[in-house]
Structure 1
Amino acid sequence: MPDNKIGYEARKRNTSQEAPTQVQTFPALQPLIRQPGEGISIAGSPEDPTAITLTGKETGGAFFLINAYSSVPNVGPPLHVHTREDETWYILEGEYEFRIGNNLVSASPGMTIFGPRNIPHTFHTTGSGHWHVLIMVTPAGLEDFFITMGQRIRQNELTPEGLKKLARQYGISFLD
């Protein structure tokens, strides 16, 4: 039978050299149910009630969710890039055109589009009618950008230069 003392000494040596294990803890999350029209309004009108329906605080920082509506054709953000977040869009109603990197995609209800960070992207509504898309941003943290932008739009205080400055604070660069 082999001498177990050698194995014991090796295990003891390896154990003593290991860095202490750090356990990451997350806040206890609570179930949350949002009704239509609930959330933090970020833009739009009663006909287009775009809102953040889940915040990063409510998801433990994992993501936030925007429920975006539009009744205006050919509307969307300029070409831009995020350095901190990924975006996922799930089309519920209407037709959209997305540009993700070098890909140009026509998107219709039921489609999912993923835009990784550091990849330029944009989208806009196409056709006519109403548009509805869920936008999940991971990780959370960018929702304050949308809240501030929405407030400035409603107060008629958002200039193109002001938007660029605000975006830079959140790691966003406009490319158009």
Structure 2
Amino acid sequence: MTRRDFDPATVTPDGRPPAKAKLFDGTRDGPYRGSINGEALATQITVLTYGNDEPGSGPVLHVHPYDEVFVIQQGRARFFVGDQTIDAEAGETVLGPAGLPHRFVNLGPGRLQTLDIHLSPRWIQTNLE
């Protein structure tokens, strides 16, 4: 499929160089294996990795002042976002809008692995539990 969504001549590079940073250490224990603040890459998004092998477990209820997008890479999860409950599985994404408290749990069986994209140059969070 050929895509031509915009004219490349209309975009001027802003002078930032390409950048690289390590997101996670695969040997690290625990559900949070790593994160990269957008500031490290001179961008406006922060990326986290989260995973656990225990059905029923997940992050505590929390809130951010910006949107968060969850990419389910492996397994199945139940998200509680505001007053909504959303089940999602590998290959699906879930939006946690700014200001809405949210959490999720591993539905099992097996591992839940997510890539969490915070639309902010820094990870800013208030835990509510």
Q: 1:172 to 1:39 in 2, by over 3 A?
A: same
1:67 aligns with 2:55: no
Percent identity, aligned pairs only, is 22
Under a length normalisation based on structure 1, what TM-score does the superposition of the two structures give? Answer: 0.56
The secondary structure found in structure 2 opposite 1:58 is: helix
Where 2:87 maps in the other structure, the secondary structure is strand
Q: Greater share of helix residues, 1 or 2? A: 1
TM-superposed CA distance for 1:171, in Å, is 5.3
Q: Structure 1 residues 40, 27: CA separation in 2 closer, same or farther (over 3 Å shift)?
A: farther
Tell me, yes or no, if structure 1 residue 50 matches structure 2 residue 54: no
Give the number of the structure with larger relative contact order, counting CA–CA contacts within 8 Å between residues 6 or more apart: 2
In the alignment, which residue of structure 2 is the partner of 1:30?
18
Question: Which one of the candidate residues 69, 85, 109 is aligned to 1:104?
Answer: 85
**Structure 1 unpaired stretches of 5+:** 1-25, 143-169
Separation in 1, partners of 2:46, 2:93: 16
After superposition, what is the alpha-carbon deviation per residue over 1:72-125, rounded to whole angstroms, capped at 9, x for unaligned?
Answer: 22111222222x222100001111000111110111011110111111111111
Letter in 2 for 1:172: T
1:39 pairs, out of 14, 23, 32, with: 23
The answer as to whether partners of 2:23 and 2:48 remain within 8 angstroms in 1 is: no
- Deviation of 1:31 after TM superposition, in Å, equals 4.1
Matched pairs, number: 115
Q: Which runs of 5+ in 2 are unaligned?
A: 1-13
Structure 1 or 2, whichever has the larger Rg, is 1
Q: How does 1:69-148 map to 2 (within 5 A)?
A: 69-82=51-64, 84-142=65-123
How well do the aligned residues superpose, as a CA RMSD in angstroms? 2.6
TM-score with structure 2 setting the length? 0.74
Counterpart amino acid of 1:73? P
User: Which residue number in structure 1 is paired with residue 11 of structure 2?
Assistant: none
